Amino acid sequence: MKTLKNWTLNKQSAHHLELRVDDQHLLCLYVLEENLFRVLIKRKGELALDKTWSIAPEKDVPWEGRDREDLSGFTCPAWTLDRQDDALTITTAQLRVTIHQPLWLEWQYRNEAGEWQPLVNDRPTSAYLLNAHGDGVAHYLSRRRDERFYGLGEKAGDLQRTGKRYEMRNLDAMGYNAVSTDPLYKHIPFTIARRDDVSYGLFYDNLSSCWLDLGNEIDNYHTAYRRWQAEAGDIDYYMFTGRRVLEVTKAFVRLTGKTLFGPKWSLGYSGSTMHYTDAPDAQNQLMNFIRLCEEHAIPCDSFQLSSGYTSINGKRYVFNWNYDKVPQPKVMCKAFHDAGLKLAANIKPCLLQDHPRYDEVAQKGLFIRDSENDMPERSSFWDDEGSHLDFTNPQTIQWWQEGVTTQLLEMGIDSTWNDNNEFEVWDGEARCHGFGKTIAIKHIRPVMPLLMMRASLEAQQRFAPEKRPYLISRSGCAGMQRYVQTWSGDNRTSWDTLRYNTRMGLGMSLSGLFNVGHDVGGFSGDKPDAELFVRWVQNGVMHPRFTIHSWNDDCTVNEPWMYPGVTPAIRSAIELRYRLLPYFYTLLWQAHADDEPMLRPTFLDHEHDAQTFAECDDFLLGRDLLVASVVEPGQRERRLWLPDNTAGWYDFYTHEWFAGGQWIVRDAPLETLPLLVRAGAGLPLSERLTHVDPQKDDSRELKLFPLKGTGTTSGLLFEDDGESWGYQQGNALWLEWEMACSATTINLKIGTRGDYRPAWQALRITLPAGEKRRLLVNGEERSEWCLNR
């Protein structure tokens, strides 16, 4: 590739300036916010792709993508330009960049004292590279020793990415190794660099396969560097700062779009297995799941139908019901609904070459086309070859939505499980409709699953406009949080997977995917033993998505009752999940409304505590609940570090208080998941230990964990009907509380807003065992607060 070197100032506007580089290329630098700049290079003055589907700072993008020149949703503040002999400096109140000659950029930020400090700079010896005779592009930055790197979405291994190399190329990574396999399913080239004084985010808005080297590579001719390189497309990146990592994560979500606020039932236990729908008597197997949940007193809210319900001779055919296996889909769906369970059905975006509707779809031109002729592209897919649907064609979207509606929703299916949507079309020049402007697949491969899930979402919305949609997708790119819940794909059963899936989930959460989980128990491999299964369920119930799912190599099925000896422990863990559903639901609301991650590495709220940056198996659920999963066989005690939060932590079960900033050991018998609660918190709890039904959820407890000394803390409880859009018109309950602690009194003040009135009428206030201080609720000595008082 050829290094870009010499530039001249070409023009300046209110929101950006433009440089002419090497007499043929254009470098545009946009000032979008006080602490958010964008750098875009146009090869020979043109863009390889003039649309984006990831950038959505104000509202969702059009189907055909957002114009790359569109600056709507940004404030575009005032900035100054200072010209030197061989440099230009662009400055806002918070961020400054100097463009040097030959071409490299030097970034500075303004600290709290108002002083300009170094942030990051391009590698002075060759920063921007373009392939003179092809599509490749690259960007090199200098790398500091005091930087820690995080992000990149769904990646195996440790949470910290420093010193490693990663690839973004969406693959169906069946049975991956959670410690080392790369690449995986998702495309999110977003990194967070953390230092003691500042953090910054760097997002490359490029949808072609790419590589990110964060210190693995060294070169004698250059100082330490990091590299992003893409096989095609444009150099187009966003640089933004934050005092803390949390601020960078939240800024990235504001850049790429709000988290979908799904229905409350989506937070309940969701059953699934390949075994049931692959069985010749699939409908009986599925109906039996309802009975077994009731028999074993396992709370459950939904079931995810694996693709076996679409099979013909063992292969899978989207929108095709196998009526031998499932003779009465509507009867089956009604039985699930009568039991209080919803159904999600697996759908795939590739039609095998012998699909009953393949010729019809091909004649309509709905497939991605071969690079050399107008025939559909052919790729390997599920033990055969098939052709991928082209979701940049409006007619394809219409066909897909008709299939979702007539073959699923009208049958009684409630939601879609968008699966196997990595679009492994390796003829990079295969042609997509591009909404009327042909685009090679190499430029937009991860957009295809994004548009697939959006098509499914809109079909669900049209079918049930009064209900908030719930969808699942395995693959996607930055911005997929606008449409779906996701998970870490087809993991393999092992203790290592349990440990490293947790870190994968935290990496996704730092990268804007808040509503995530894993296949509990492992998807592939032999079944987990009883101890591993219990520990995996205990871990899984503390994730936003809690699904036990399997396709075990030994032809077994992962079910809550698979080991009678530990079924009580499994039941107890799931019941804990249901007790905590009011807390989970409030966290989901805050993820949607305030861009707050649900899963949080312990350092996210305690950056001042250096120990929290060590790789560990602990995480926070919200700010208040510290989860210390057991991830080693035979372990019956759990040593963990309590983040230094000045207020301390309570044991969730015993109510024993501990000062923060120390190692402690907690008992961890097989029946118990060690949990700690932040002092000053209040956990809203339910007593309903069965499927979600807001009309029957008639009890609510606020379990307070007061400060040991003096001080004031606050919190929120969000309630609504669990599935409608009423909250947009104020038909919800926002219950806000403030707890002031003194040496003698705990004074709880409660206020509400919103029109919704839940089934519970009184909020029961409880304190830790041994708490002797007087409890005042809105000035009165009481242990209950009445909603309609």
Structure tokens, 190: 């977003």
Cα 649 to Cα 625: distance, rounded to the nearest angstrom: 9
Structure tokens, 757: 């009135």
Predicted confidence band of residue 775 (pLDDT cuts 50, 70, 90): very high
CB atoms < 10 A from the CB of 180, how many? 10
Cα 472 to Cα 485: distance, rounded to the nearest angstrom: 5
Cα 727 to Cα 380: distance, rounded to the nearest angstrom: 45
Long-range contacts from 97-103, C-beta under 8 angstroms, 24+ separation? 97/29, 97/37, 97/239, 99/7, 99/19, 99/29, 100/124, 101/6, 101/7, 102/5, 102/6, 102/7, 103/4, 103/5, 103/6, 103/7, 103/21, 103/27, 103/127, 103/128
CB atoms < 10 A from the CB of 651, how many? 18
Predicted confidence band of residue 100 (pLDDT cuts 50, 70, 90): very high
Return the percentage of the chain with pLDDT > 70, whole number: 100
**Kind and range of the H or E run holding 733:** strand 733-741
pLDDT of residue 135 exceeding 90: no
- Helix-, strand-, coil-residue percentages of the chain, each rounded to 5: 20, 35, 45
Predicted confidence band of residue 383 (pLDDT cuts 50, 70, 90): confident
**270-306: pLDDT as tens digits:** 999 999 999 999 999 999 999 999 999 999 999 999 9
Collect all residues with Cβ–Cβ distance below 8 Å to 171 and sequence separation of at least 6. Answer: 183, 184, 185, 422, 424
Q: Is the peptide bond before 643 cis (omega within 30 degrees of 0)?
A: no
Q: What interhelical angle do 567-579 and 581-594 show, nearest 10?
A: 50
Cα 123 to Cα 105: distance, rounded to the nearest angstrom: 8
* β partners of residue 138: 129, 229
Q: Average pLDDT of 117-122?
A: 98
Which residue reads 């230092």 in tokens?
195
pLDDT of residue 293: 98
- For the ranges 133-137, 419-423, 478-482, 587-591, the lowest mean pLDDT is seen at 133-137
Structure tokens, 376: 């559909």
Judge if 2-256 and 599-674 fold alike in CATH terms. yes
In one letter, which amino acid is 295?
E
pLDDT of residue 132 exceeding 90: no
Say if residues 110 and 122 touch (Cβ distance below 8 Å).
no
348 to each of 208, 307, 628, how far by Cα in Å? 22, 8, 36
522 to each of 272, 553, 767, how far by Cα in Å? 12, 11, 38
Predicted confidence band of residue 485 (pLDDT cuts 50, 70, 90): very high
What's the chain's Rg over C-alpha atoms? 27
DSSP string spanning 476-543?
Answer: EETTGGGT-BEE--SBB-SHHHHHHHHHHHHHHHHTT--SEEEEET-SBSSPPPHHHHHHHHHHHTTS
**255-276: pLDDT as tens digits:** 999 999 999 999 999 999 999 9
Q: Average pLDDT of 386-393?
A: 98
SS (H, E, C) 24-75: CEEEEEEEEECCEEEEEEEECCECCCCEECCCCCCCCCCCCCEECCCCCCCC
Fold of 2-256: Immunoglobulin-like (2.60.40)
Which residue reads 């590589």 in tokens?
211
Cα 720 to Cα 261: distance, rounded to the nearest angstrom: 12
CB atoms < 10 A from the CB of 649, how many? 25
Q: Average pLDDT of 530-558?
A: 97
Q: Does domain 267-349+391-594 have CATH number 3.50.50.60?
A: no
Cα 144 to Cα 118: distance, rounded to the nearest angstrom: 11
Dihedral (Cα; 239, 245, 251, 255), 10-degree rounding: 60
Dihedral (Cα; 223, 228, 230, 236), 10-degree rounding: -110
Sign of the dihedral defined by the CA atoms of residues 410, 411, 417, 419, in that order: negative
Cα 82 to Cα 91: distance, rounded to the nearest angstrom: 8
**655-675: pLDDT as tens digits:** 999 999 999 999 999 999 999
Phi, psi torsion values for 624, nearest 5 degrees: -105, -25
pLDDT of residue 789: 57
Tell me if residue 580 falls in helix, strand or coil. Answer: coil
Cα 738 to Cα 734: distance, rounded to the nearest angstrom: 13
pLDDT of residue 68 exceeding 80: yes
Say if residues 228 and 212 touch (Cβ distance below 8 Å).
yes
Q: Average pLDDT of 386-396?
A: 98
pLDDT of residue 334 exceeding 90: yes
**358-373: pLDDT as tens digits:** 999 999 999 999 999 9
Phi, psi torsion values for 335, nearest 5 degrees: -65, -40
Which of these, 101, 282, 120, lies nearest to 201 by C-alpha position? Answer: 120
Q: Can you list the positions of beta strands (E) in 125-214?
A: 128-130, 137-142, 148-151, 165-168, 186-187, 190-194, 199-204, 210-213
Domain ranges (residues) in the chain? 2-256, 267-349+391-594, 599-674, 694-786
Mean pLDDT of the chain: 97
DSSP 754: S
Cα 570 to Cα 199: distance, rounded to the nearest angstrom: 41
CATH of domain 694-786: 2.60.40.1180
Fold of 599-674: Immunoglobulin-like (2.60.40)
Cα 58 to Cα 32: distance, rounded to the nearest angstrom: 13
